[in-house]
Structure 1
Amino acid sequence: MGQNEDEPTIGQLVADASRDLSSLVRSELELAKTELKKTAIAAGTGAGLFGAAGFLALLAIILLSIAAAYGVSALGLHPALSFLIVAVVYLLIGAALVLVGKRLIGKAKGPERAIETSKESVEALKSIGKGD
């Protein structure tokens, strides 16, 4: 079988395919970097806004707590006792949240199916490597 001089050799075709594949991968990586940069900027801005909203909510809770204590004080109790009552209510709510959170964490399990399929994949790759 004679080879035509206009046709590239298999080695040239493999080299061209390898070069084109490398170029494609580099281009895709650059595109991904550009997209991720824009996404990261948007996510960072969103996270900053959530942080500001959380801070303002914390300030509101503090002010509402003071208002609640003065409201209890308006019922005729000493202001110190009123603030103590509000603090105890918060502690009780916090304790209840801790108990519920502890119960939920106790029920949490690992990614059992993912671990199992990963083990199966490793075993399949090992068997292929051994020539089975």
Structure 2
Amino acid sequence: MAPEPRGQDSSVGQLLSEMTSDIQTLFRQEVELAKAEIREEAGKAGKAAGMYGGAGFGGYMVALFASLAAMFGLANVMDTGWAALIVTAVWAGIAAVLFVMGRSRMREVSPKPQQTVETLKEDAQWARHPSK
């Protein structure tokens, strides 16, 4: 059955039914857009978290073996305690740099589906003033 053209022949019930159907379709599309945006942002967050983990593990391994090598190397020219303290300070600086880099990547992640919020605002504006 073909829908009747809009005009004087359309009843209020038909117009209301069409409007309800259009609103439901619009709502479904907005929900799908929100899901897509959230998936994208979750992917970014996962990559940033992986970088945190990789930086932590890599930093640990490097710190462990390089610290031992540097400490024993410095122990040839100074007391072993001072050599260990110097090596520890170097790795503390490296860890701070890795943390700052990971934090800057994490700040790029937006928890709010921005595009969906904007289109919902536009939809609400249109619903208030459909003739504009």
Relative CO higher for 1 or 2, CA cutoff 8 Å, sep ≥ 6? 2
Q: Which one has a bigger Cα radius of gyration?
A: 1
Give TM-score scaled by structure 1 length. Answer: 0.46
Give TM-score scaled by structure 2 length. Answer: 0.46
More helix, by proportion = 1
